[in-house]
Amino acid sequence: MSNIRFKALEITFKRERKSPKNIGKKISGYYGELVFNDHIMQEYLTKAAYQSVKDAKCKGSRISRNMADQIASGMKSWALDRGVTHYTHWFHPLTGASAEKHDSFADPVSGGLAIERFEGKSLIQQEPDASSFPNGGIRNTFEARGYTAWDPTSPAFILENTLCIPTVFVSYTGEALDYKTPLLKSISALDEAATKVVKLFNEDVKRVFSNLGWEQEYFLIDAALYKARPDLGLTGRTVFGHSSAKDQQLSDHYFGTIQERALDFMKDLEFEAHRLGIPLKTRHNEVAPNQFECAPVYEEVNIAVDHNQLLMHLLDKVAKRHNLKALLHEKPFEGINGSGKHNNWSISTDTGINLLSPGKTHFENLRFLTILINVLKAVNDYADILRAHIANAGNDHRLGGHEAPPAIISAFIGTQLGKLLTQFENQQGEDALATNEFDGNINIPKIPEILLDNTDRNRTSPFAFTGNKFEFRAIGSSANCALPMIALNTIVAKQFSDFYASHEALVKEGYDKQEATIKLIKSYLKDVKNIVYEGNNYSDEWLEIAKERGLSNFKTTPEALQVLQQEKYIKLFDEMQVLTPVELAARYDIKMENYVQKLQIEARVIGDLALNHIIPTAIKYQNILIENVQGLNQIFDNDTFQKNAALQLDLIKTISADIDAIRKLVNEMRAQKEKLNALEDNPAKAIAYQQKVIPYFDKIRSHVDHLELHIDDELWTLPKYREMLFTM
Ligand code: ADP
Ligand code: MG
pLDDT (tens digit per residue) in 277-287: 999 999 999 88
Within 10 Å of residue 154's Cβ, how many Cβ atoms? 21
User: Please, how many CA atoms are within 13 Å of residue 638, restricted to the half-sphere of its CB?
Assistant: 0
Residues forming beta bridges with residue 399, ordered by sequence position: 404
Cα(351)–Cα(208) distance, rounded to whole angstroms? 9
Mean pLDDT over each residue of the chain, to the nearest integer? 92
Q: Which tens digit of pLDDT belongs to each residue from 177-213?
A: 999 999 999 999 999 999 999 999 999 999 999 999 9
Give me the domains of the chain, ranges plus CATH numbers: 31-178 (3.10.20.70), 187-579 (3.30.590.10), 594-726 (1.20.120.1560)
- Distance (Å) from CA 298 to ligand 1 centroid: 7
Cα(87)–Cα(93) distance, rounded to whole angstroms? 18
Please state, in angstroms and as integers, the Cα–Cα distance from residue 619 to each residue in 1, 484, 707, following that order: 18, 48, 11
Q: What is the DSSP string of 31-83?
A: TTTTB--HHHHHHHS-HHHHHHHHHHHHH-PPPPHHHHHHHHHHHHHHHHHTT
> What residue ranges in 196-253 does DSSP mark as E strands?
208-222
> Does residue 341 line the site of ligand 1, with CB under 6 A?
no
CA 475, 479, 483 angle in degrees (round to 5)? 80
What single-letter amino acid sits at 604?
Answer: R
- By most ligand atoms within 8 Å of CB, the mutation choice from 218, 285, 344 for ligand 1 is 344
Mean pLDDT of 121-130: 84
Residue with CA at minimum distance from ligand 1 atom 11: 213
> Does residue 346 line the site of ligand 1, with CB under 6 A?
yes
Beta strands 324-327 and 157-159 are unpaired
Please state, in angstroms and as integers, the Cα–Cα distance from residue 202 to each residue in 194, 222, 510, 646, following that order: 12, 55, 21, 84
Give the pLDDT of residue 174.
Answer: 85
User: Please, how many CA atoms are within 13 Å of residue 399, restricted to the half-sphere of its CB?
Assistant: 27
Cα(246)–Cα(250) distance, rounded to whole angstroms? 8
The closest ligand to the CA of 347 turns out to be 1
Return the SS3 of 691. Answer: helix
> Does residue 468 line the site of ligand 1, with CB under 6 A?
yes
- Distance (Å) from CA 306 to ligand 1 centroid: 17
Give the pLDDT of residue 139.
Answer: 60
Smallest CA-to-CA distance from 686 within 590, 587, 584, 608 is with 590
- Which ranges of 459-512 does DSSP label H, i.e. alpha helix? 482-508
- Distance (Å) from CA 301 to ligand 2 centroid: 17
Task: Report the phi/psi class of residue 290: left, alpha or beta, with left for phi > 0 and alpha for psi in -120 to 50.
Answer: left
Q: What is the DSSP string of 637-689?
A: -HHHHHHHHHHHHHHHHHHHHHHHHHHHHHHHHHHHHHHHHT---HHHHHHHH
Residue with CA at minimum distance from ligand 1 atom 13: 213
Give the pLDDT of residue 363.
Answer: 82
Q: Which tens digit of pLDDT belongs to each residue from 609-644?
A: 999 999 999 999 999 999 999 999 999 999 999 999
Ion ligand 2 neighbours, Cβ < 5 Å = 215, 342
Mean pLDDT of 648-661: 97
Cα(270)–Cα(265) distance, rounded to whole angstroms? 9
Within 10 Å of residue 31's Cβ, how many Cβ atoms? 17
> Does residue 469 line the site of ligand 1, with CB under 6 A?
yes
Cα(75)–Cα(46) distance, rounded to whole angstroms? 12
Residues in the chain: 728
Q: Which tens digit of pLDDT belongs to each residue from 470-487?
A: 999 999 999 999 999 999
Return the SS3 of 46. Answer: coil
What secondary structure letter does DSSP report for 390?
A: T
- Distance (Å) from CA 551 to ligand 1 centroid: 28
Cα(488)–Cα(472) distance, rounded to whole angstroms? 9
> Does residue 300 line the site of ligand 1, with CB under 6 A?
no
Residue with CA at minimum distance from ligand 1 atom 1: 215
The closest ligand to the CA of 279 turns out to be 1
**Position with higher pLDDT, 249 vs 370:** 370
> Does residue 690 line the site of ligand 1, with CB under 6 A?
no
Cα(358)–Cα(348) distance, rounded to whole angstroms? 13
- Distance (Å) from CA 342 to ligand 2 centroid: 6
Confidence of residue 271 (pLDDT cuts 50, 70, 90): very high
What single-letter amino acid sits at 53?
Answer: V
**Position with higher pLDDT, 253 vs 493:** 493
Give the pLDDT of residue 1.
Answer: 52
> Does residue 344 line the site of ligand 1, with CB under 6 A?
yes
- Distance (Å) from CA 459 to ligand 1 centroid: 14
Residues 355, 205 contacting (CB under 8 angstroms) = no
> Does residue 380 line the site of ligand 1, with CB under 6 A?
no
- Distance (Å) from CA 459 to ligand 2 centroid: 8
Give the pLDDT of residue 228.
Answer: 97
Give the pLDDT of residue 440.
Answer: 42
Cα(451)–Cα(528) distance, rounded to whole angstroms? 20
Give the pLDDT of residue 427.
Answer: 72
Residue with CA at minimum distance from ligand 1 atom 24: 346
Residues 388, 409 contacting (CB under 8 angstroms) = no
Beta strands 411-412 and 463-465 are parallel
- Distance (Å) from CA 214 to ligand 1 centroid: 7
Q: Residue 646, class by beta-carbon neighbours within 10 Å (0-12 exposed, 13-18 middle, 19+ buried)?
A: exposed
What single-letter amino acid sits at 410?
Answer: S
Judge whether residue 430 has pLDDT over 90: no
Judge whether residue 99 has pLDDT over 90: no
- Kindly give the number of the ligand 1 atom that is closest to the alpha carbon of 354: 23
Cα(659)–Cα(590) distance, rounded to whole angstroms? 37
* Cβ burial 569-578 (10 Å sphere, 16+ → b, else e): bbebbeebeb
- Kindly give the number of the ligand 1 atom that is closest to the alpha carbon of 296: 14
What single-letter amino acid sits at 415?
Answer: T
> Does residue 282 line the site of ligand 1, with CB under 6 A?
yes
Q: Decide: pTM greater than 0.75.
A: yes
The closest ligand to the CA of 354 turns out to be 1
- Distance (Å) from CA 298 to ligand 2 centroid: 12
- Distance (Å) from CA 473 to ligand 1 centroid: 12
Please state, in angstroms and as integers, the Cα–Cα distance from residue 255 to each residue in 292, 336, 579, following that order: 9, 16, 41
Residues forming beta bridges with residue 325, ordered by sequence position: 221
What single-letter amino acid sits at 460?
Answer: T
Cα(184)–Cα(57) distance, rounded to whole angstroms? 12
Residues 341, 477 contacting (CB under 8 angstroms) = yes
Smallest CA-to-CA distance from 356 within 413, 401, 394, 318 is with 413
Give the pLDDT of residue 451.
Answer: 58
Confidence of residue 172 (pLDDT cuts 50, 70, 90): confident
Within 10 Å of residue 550's Cβ, how many Cβ atoms? 7
What is the percentage of the chain residues whose pLDDT exceeds 90? Answer: 80
Give the pLDDT of residue 438.
Answer: 34
- Distance (Å) from CA 474 to ligand 2 centroid: 11
Q: Residue 463, class by beta-carbon neighbours within 10 Å (0-12 exposed, 13-18 middle, 19+ buried)?
A: buried
Cα(501)–Cα(503) distance, rounded to whole angstroms? 5
- Kindly give the number of the ligand 1 atom that is closest to the alpha carbon of 345: 25
Cα(503)–Cα(496) distance, rounded to whole angstroms? 10
Return the SS3 of 171. Answer: strand
Residues 418, 534 contacting (CB under 8 angstroms) = yes
Mean pLDDT of 490-519: 96
CA 377, 380, 385, 387 torsion: positive or negative? positive
Give the pLDDT of residue 250.
Answer: 81
Sequence-distant contacts of 129-134: CB under 8 A, at least 24 apart: 130/93, 130/169, 130/171, 130/177, 133/93, 133/94, 133/95, 133/99, 133/169, 133/177, 134/93, 134/94, 134/95, 134/177, 134/590, 134/593, 134/594
Return the SS3 of 459. Answer: coil
Residues 727, 9 contacting (CB under 8 angstroms) = yes
Confidence of residue 173 (pLDDT cuts 50, 70, 90): confident
Confidence of residue 364 (pLDDT cuts 50, 70, 90): confident
Give the pLDDT of residue 425.
Answer: 85
Segment (H or E) for 227: helix 223-227
> Does residue 298 line the site of ligand 1, with CB under 6 A?
yes
Confidence of residue 569 (pLDDT cuts 50, 70, 90): very high
CA 81, 84, 90, 96 torsion: positive or negative? negative
> Does residue 131 line the site of ligand 1, with CB under 6 A?
no
Give the pLDDT of residue 432.
Answer: 37
- Distance (Å) from CA 454 to ligand 2 centroid: 15
- CA 163 to chain centroid, in Å, comes to 26
> Does residue 340 line the site of ligand 1, with CB under 6 A?
no
Judge whether residue 434 has pLDDT over 70: no
Q: What SS3 string covers 360-381?
A: CCHHHHHHHHHHHHHHHHHHHH
Q: Which tens digit of pLDDT belongs to each residue from 36-81?
A: 999 999 999 999 999 999 998 888 888 999 999 999 999 999 999 9
- Which ranges of 382-466 does DSSP label H, i.e. alpha helix? 383-388, 415-427, 430-434
Give the pLDDT of residue 435.
Answer: 33
581-609 helix and 694-710 helix, angle to the nearest 10 degrees: 30
What secondary structure letter does DSSP report for 352?
A: S
